[in-house]
Amino acid sequence: NAGVMQNPRHLVRRRGQEARLRCSPMKGHSHVYWYRQLPEEGLKFMVYLQKENIIDESGMPKERFSAEFPKEGPSILRIQQVVRGDSAAYFCASSPGRSSGNTIYFGEGSWLTVV
Amino acid sequence: AQSVTQLDSQVPVFEEAPVELRCNYSSSVSVYLFWYVQYPNQGLQLLLKYLSGSTLVESINGFEAEFNKSQTSFHLRKPSVHISDTAEYFCAVSDPRQDKIIFGKGTRLHILP
* Residues making up chain A, counted from first to last: 115
- Alpha carbon of residue A99 to chain centroid: 22
Measured CA to CA, the distance from residue B11 to residue B32 in angstroms comes to: 25
Query: What CA–CA distances, in Å, run from A55 to A32, A60, A68, B78?
Result: 10, 12, 11, 37
Q: Evaluate if residue A1 carries a pLDDT over 60.
A: no
Measured CA to CA, the distance from residue B7 to residue B106 in angstroms comes to: 9
Between B53 and A10, name the one with better pLDDT. Answer: A10
Contact B44 A106 (CB under 8 A): yes
Measured CA to CA, the distance from residue B64 to residue B79 in angstroms comes to: 9
* pLDDT tier for residue A98 given thresholds of 50, 70 and 90: low
Measured CA to CA, the distance from residue B9 to residue A25 in angstroms comes to: 30
pLDDT tens-place values along chain B, 113 residues long: 788 999 999 999 999 999 999 999 998 778 899 999 999 888 899 999 998 888 899 898 899 999 999 999 999 999 999 999 999 999 999 887 777 788 999 999 999 98
Contact B90 A42 (CB under 8 A): yes
pLDDT tens digit sequence for A14-56: 999 999 999 999 998 989 999 999 877 788 999 999 988 999 9
Query: What CA–CA distances, in Å, run from A88 to A19, A23, A69, A109, B56?
Result: 12, 16, 21, 10, 35
Q: Does B7 touch chain A (CB under 8 A)?
A: no
Q: Does A96 touch chain B (CB under 8 A)?
A: no
Bridge partners (DSSP) listed for residue A55: none
Q: Tell me the chain B residues in contact with residue A53 when contact means C-beta distances shorter than 8 Å.
A: none
Query: What CA–CA distances, in Å, run from B60 to A52, A68, B21?
Result: 37, 36, 17
Contact B45 A106 (CB under 8 A): yes
Contact B44 A103 (CB under 8 A): no
A25 burial type by CB count under 10 A (0-12 exposed, 13-18 middle, 19+ buried): buried
